[in-house]
Structure formats: structure tokens, C-alpha cells
Amino acid sequence: MLISINPYNNRIIKEYAEFSDDEVDIIISQTQKAFQTWRKTGIKHRKSLMRSVAGVLEDNKEELAVLITKEMGKLIQSSRAEIEKCAWVCKYYAENTERFLKNEIVSTDAGKSYVTFNPLGVILTIMPWNFPFWQVFRFAAPGLMAGNACVLKHSANVSGCALAIEDLFIKAGFPENLFRTLLIGKDNVGRILENTDIKAVTLTGSTPAGKAVASAAGSEIKKTVLELGGNDPYIILDDADLEETVEACLISKMINAGQSCIAVKRFIVTPTIRERFEAAFVGKMEKMRMGDPFDPEVQLGPLARSDLRDELHEKVKKSIALGAVCLTGGYIPESEGVFYPPTVLTNVIKGMPAYEEELFGPVAAIIPVQNEQEAITVANDSDFGLGAAIFSRNLQKAELIAANEIEAGNCFINTYVKSDPRLPFGGIKKSGFGRELSSYGIKEFVNIKTVYIK
């Protein structure tokens, strides 16, 4: 059984029976048949349907936002914003796919030569619970517009969201079986990848999950895009605007209760600004109101699952035992829900979980450094390379560091890292490979084909 539990009160929302192997095989076969027709569908018709699903999202925003908040604890205002962003990405690809996938004429010694972009087929899409709609739509919008079909394996605790997404595409008028949800556990993924109708896989999730899926896909020679964990550094230089920096850092750390791959994890702070930054940041964290995610005054809801909260707390305790200083938080509150308070650790050094590992929750790790060069070294001293940010009034210097020295797929200056349909998104090192969004994302799952005419 797949069980959806409300993390605010630990009550079961619904239990879902897992699909059998035969049911999964039938669904994939049906999706393959739907793809054969969809691939020949004109871009104008695809565009119309993608605009339609944007409209269905907007028309049902409140109902869908409530579902997100119940299943994984996100603040209701953040759930509404997530649905709005999904509608945006649908509109973006409806308007831009024709331009992105237009044949590219290449001048050679041929009579005519060009590059064309054909869909691959049925794509297995493995997605996490933290942004249960956005993570899916940022693949599905470009994937379907490119002519592919999709089968979704979502996290068990957001099975209601997964089924709702499938229903949205039907309501918008997409062909039946073009987008299907598979209610299965993670142990079934390897078998699915052996199915010859599955042409590629995209996964957003943990690094261990990425390793397992990439290994299974590699053994079948199937294309993979991985967006994995992050240990994102924010470099705060002595000349940073303190008020602007603290506000951006607070948003990044606390959005979705810190449960975001691109939330800041490590605050790397130079000497002159360190004490002022710590005092201001801790002051803001301690004022965060924790409680019911449906209360518009609440700023921090529960974490998604109790096992994730317990894992986070163990990393905090171990870091403190190794010498980190807890400036606020750092305990499990006596409450019914899966809550963890805003927590700030300082004097974090190499060897501590707060330095080495991804803290997926409302925990900030402050790493003091002596100068700008040490800050860059520490920022790059990680197995991960997803997002990063630099705060400095010297924009020329910050841009040089961001563009040339930081090892990450995304680097922002004087603001927090966020995804945008117009920009490529993804990481390097153990944060994964491949890109989502923009023109780069839609070309991950097409056959980039050379056509040469003598």
C-alpha cells in the first residue's frame, strides 16, 4: 500500500493499492500507442492543449493547493504559488516550442544539410514530494510539447497529487494514456526500465536514488537526466548589503520549510560582516511563526515526513557534538505534527554533517572564513554542485566569481537561487547531469538528427 499522511496532524489521508506488474505493463503499452499518434500531431494542436492545461490549473488552483498542503505540509500560500508557476511553464512552452525545435540549417558541402529534433517516445518520470506539481510540470510541459509521452512514478506520500496531475491533462483535452501515473514503489523502477517501450528516464531526488536509476538506465543504454541533491553555498562578503543579504538568505533557507534542493545550506561568511550577519539572521529566524500551514499568518509549516525530520535532527546533533554552536533551535518540539524549529548552527567546519551533507529542512550552517579566496575554496569544497549565490556591492567582482570560479549549475548574485522556465536548470558533480527548462531542457529528450542531402 502507498499511504498519504498529513504531516500537520499525522493522520492518514488515504491509502492506495499498488499497481501489479501486469497493470504497469498494460499502462506502458497504452502510453506507447498514444505516443505513436501524438508524435504526428501538429505543433499548433499541441500548443492549444498546453494552453488549455494552463487554464485548468488556474481554474482549479485552490483545490489543487489544498491537496498539496494536506499531503506534504507546504504553506497554503506557497502551494498556490506552485500551481501558478506550473501554469506559467505550460504557457512558456506553448509559446516557444516551435522556435526551440525549428530545423537548424547548417552550411556544409551538401546540397542541403540541417538538424531536426524528433521525440524519443515514452519517458519514465520519477519525481519527489517537495514540489509535487512543479517538479512534474517542468518536465511534462516541454516533454509533451516535444512530442513525447510520459509515465509518472511519484513519491508515495503525494499519490493524490500524482493522480490529480493525470486528471488535469485529461480535463485539458490531451489524448487518453499520453500521460499516466503509476502507483508503484521504488523497487519496481528497475523492472520498468527494462521495458523496451520506455525510451528514457528523468529523475529528481536524492543522490542515492540517482545512482540506482542511472545504473539501471545505463545497463539498458537509455538516456537519463538527473536533478539530485545540493549543498548550496551562499558567499557573504564583507561589502555585502546586510539588510538585502539577510532577507534573501531567509527566503532561501525557509521556503518550503527548507525542503528544497536549491535552498541555501551553507552560509560562508567573511570576518567583518560575520557578527552582524549572525545577529540579524538569528533574529529573523527566531521570529518565524511555526504552525498550521493553512493559517496565513504562519511562516513555517511541518516537514513532510517524520523520518526526514528525525534524519535532519541527527545531523544537527552530530554537528553540535563535533563542535558546532547552536545559536537557536536544534530540538524536536513536543507537538502532534512533524515540526522542526528554525535552527542556526555556527562555527561549522569540515567533517561535520552540517558542512558535508545536505540539510533538508529549516537548518542554517554558518561557516566562518578569513577572506574571499577561502570563501570560494569552501564553496567548491563539496561533492554537490547545484546552486550558489554571492552577496557583494562590487558587482563586477561578484560576476567574475560567479561566472568563472564557482562549481555549480546555477549561480546568482545578491538574490536567492530559483528556477525559471526561461533559464536552464540543473547541476554538476553529485547534483546530477542534464538540464531542465529553457531551450536546453526541451532538447534533452529529443533525437538531435542530422539530415544530409547531396
Q: In sequence order, which residues have a C-beta less than 8 Å from that of residue 412 and are 6 or more positions away?
A: 387, 388, 389, 390, 402, 418
- Residues with catalytic annotation? 227, 261
Length of the chain: 454
Give me the tens of pLDDT residue by residue for the chain, a chain 454 residues long: 999 999 999 999 999 999 999 999 999 999 999 999 999 999 999 999 999 999 999 999 999 999 999 999 999 999 999 999 999 999 999 999 999 999 999 999 999 999 999 999 999 999 999 999 999 999 999 999 999 999 999 999 999 999 999 999 999 999 999 999 999 998 899 999 999 999 999 999 999 999 999 999 999 999 999 999 999 999 999 999 999 999 999 999 999 999 999 999 999 999 999 999 999 999 999 999 999 999 999 999 999 999 999 999 999 999 999 999 999 999 999 989 999 999 999 999 999 999 999 999 999 999 999 999 999 999 999 999 999 999 999 999 999 999 999 999 999 999 999 999 999 999 999 999 999 999 999 999 999 999 999 9
Farthest-apart Cα atoms in the chain, separation:
75
342, 299 contact by CB (below 8 A): no
> Is the full-model pTM beyond 0.85?
yes
d(CA 354, CA 266): 8
CATH classification of 233-420, choosing from 3.30.70.260, 3.30.70.80, 3.40.309.10, 3.40.50.410? Answer: 3.40.309.10
Integer angstrom CA distances of residue 29 from 26, 39, 154, 186, 345? 5, 15, 19, 20, 51
DSSP annotation of 169 reads: H
- In one-letter notation, the amino acid at residue 350 is K
Residue whose C-alpha cell is 517501450: 197
CATH topology for the 2-228+431-453 domain: Aldehyde Dehydrogenase; Chain A, domain 1 (3.40.605)
Distance CA 206, CA 229 (A): 5
The dihedral built from the CA positions of residue 100, 101, 103 and 105, taken in this order, carries a sign that is positive
How far apart (Å, rounded) are the C-alpha atoms in residues 15 and 2? Answer: 6
Its sign, for the CA torsion 96, 101, 106, 110, is negative
Angle between helices 76-100 and 134-145 (to 10 degrees): 20
**Residue 3: how many other CB atoms lie within 10 Å:** 12
- Output the DSSP codes for 230-279: ---EEEE-TTS-HHHHHHHHHHHHHGGGG--TTS--EEEE-HHHHHHHHH
Domain residue spans of the chain: 2-228+431-453, 233-420
Three-class SS state of 108: coil
Nearest-angstrom CA–CA distance, 54 and 128: 21
Question: Residues 211, 215, 217, 220: what is their CA dihedral angle, to the nearest 10 degrees?
Answer: 180
